[in-house]
Amino acid sequence: MEQAVSRFFRLQLSEAGRQLDQAYVAVLTADPPRPQWQWALAQRVRCTPLVADAAAPEIQLQFEDFYAPGVDAPLGARIRLAVHSADDRVLARAETDLSAARQGYRWDTGPLEPGDHVLVVHLEAASVTCEMARVQISRVADWQRRLAALEQLPSALAATGTPTGIATLEQLRALLCELAADHVQERDVPAHHLLATCESLLTARGDSRAVLRADRPGDYLLTLSDGTKQLPVRLRVPDRPLEPLPVLLAFHGAGGSENMFFETYGAGRLVELAAERGWLVVAPRQSLFGLSMDCDEILAVLAEHFPVDHARVFLVGHSMGAAQVVQQVSRHADKIAAAVALGGGRAPADPQPLARIPWFVAAGERDFGRRGAEALARSLADAGAGVRWRVVPHVEHLVMVQAALDDVFAFLDEVSPPPVRAATPAP
Query: How far apart, in Å, are the Cα atoms of 414 and each of 2, 73, 378, 407, 409?
Result: 33, 54, 21, 10, 8
Number of domains in the chain: 3
Give alpha helix (H) positions in 181-249. Answer: 191-203
**Does one domain contain both 149 and 203?**
yes
| CATH label of the domain that carries residue 131 | 2.60.40.10
Residues 166 and 307 in one domain: no
Q: Identify the pLDDT of residue 242.
A: 85
Q: Does 16 score more than 80 pLDDT?
A: yes
Same-domain status, 228 and 321: yes
75 occurs within a structural domain: yes
Domain match, 406 and 290 both: yes
Handedness of CA 297, 378, 8, 120 (dihedral sign): negative
Q: Which domain holds residue 186?
A: 142-211
pLDDT of 306 over the 60 cut: yes
Radius of gyration of the chain from its Cα atoms, rounded to whole angstroms: 23
Q: Are strands 218-225 and 230-237 parallel, antiparallel or unpaired?
A: antiparallel
Instruction: State the pLDDT at residue 421.
Output: 56
273 shares its domain with 341 = yes
Residue 427 domain-assigned? no
Same domain, 275 and 165: no
Q: Is the dihedral of CA 147, 151, 154, 159 positive or negative?
A: negative
Residue 336 has pLDDT above 80, yes or no: yes
Q: What is the dihedral of CA 418, 215, 234, 18, to 10 degrees?
A: 80
CB distance 54 to 111 below 8 Å:
yes
State what percent of residues in the chain have pLDDT above 90: 84
Closest CA to 254 of 277, 288, 220: 288
Q: Are residues 306 and 386 in the same domain?
A: yes
Of 124-128, 295-299, 406-410, which gets the smallest average pLDDT?
124-128
291/318 same-domain check: yes
Same domain assignment for residues 376 and 233: yes
Please report how many Cα atoms fall inside a 13 Å half-sphere around the Cα of residue 307, on the Cβ side. 8
pLDDT confidence bin for 241, thresholds 50/70/90 = confident
Q: Which residues contact 176 (CB under 8 A, 6 or more apart)?
A: 51, 147, 150, 191, 194, 195, 198
What ranges make up the beta strands (E) of 179-273?
218-225, 230-237, 245-251
Give the residue-averaged pLDDT of 148-177.
Answer: 87
Is residue 179 domain-shared with residue 286, that is, in the same domain?
Answer: no
User: Does a structural domain hold residue 186?
Assistant: yes
Going by pLDDT thresholds of 50, 70 and 90, the confidence category of residue 392 is very high
Residue 33 has a pLDDT of: 87
Does the pTM surpass 0.75? The reply is yes
- Which one of 140, 164, 196 terminates a domain? 140
**DSSP letter at 272?**
H
Q: What is the pLDDT of residue 420?
A: 61
When pLDDT is cut at 50, 70 and 90, the band that residue 220 belongs to is: very high
Query: pLDDT tens-digit profile of 31-40?
Result: 888 899 999 9
At which of 83, 117, 140 does a domain end? Answer: 140
CA–CA separation, 230 and 50 (whole Å)? 28
CATH number, domain containing residue 361 = 3.40.50.1820
Average pLDDT estimate for 240-259: 93
User: What is the C-alpha to C-alpha distance for residues 319 and 331, in angstroms, rounded to an integer?
Assistant: 19
Same domain, 309 and 284: yes
- Work out the angle between the directed axes of helices 370-382 and 320-332 (0-180°, nearest 10): 20
Domain boundary among 157, 189, 211: 211
Q: Which of 310, 196, 289, 287 lies closest to 298, judged by CA?
A: 310
Higher-pLDDT residue of 122 and 126 is 122
Give the 3-state secondary structure of residue 356.
helix
Is residue 151 pLDDT above 70, yes or no?
Answer: yes
The confidence band for 287, taking pLDDT boundaries of 50, 70 and 90, is confident
In this prediction, residue 419 has a pLDDT band, given cuts at 50, 70 and 90, of low
Assess contact for 80 and 133: CB atoms under 8 A: no
pLDDT at 153 over 80: no
One-letter identity of residue 16:
A
Q: Is residue 423 part of a domain?
A: no
Q: Measured between alpha carbons, how far is 279 from 314 in angstroms, rounded to an integer?
A: 10
State mean pLDDT over 13-30: 93
Q: Is residue 24 part of a domain?
A: no
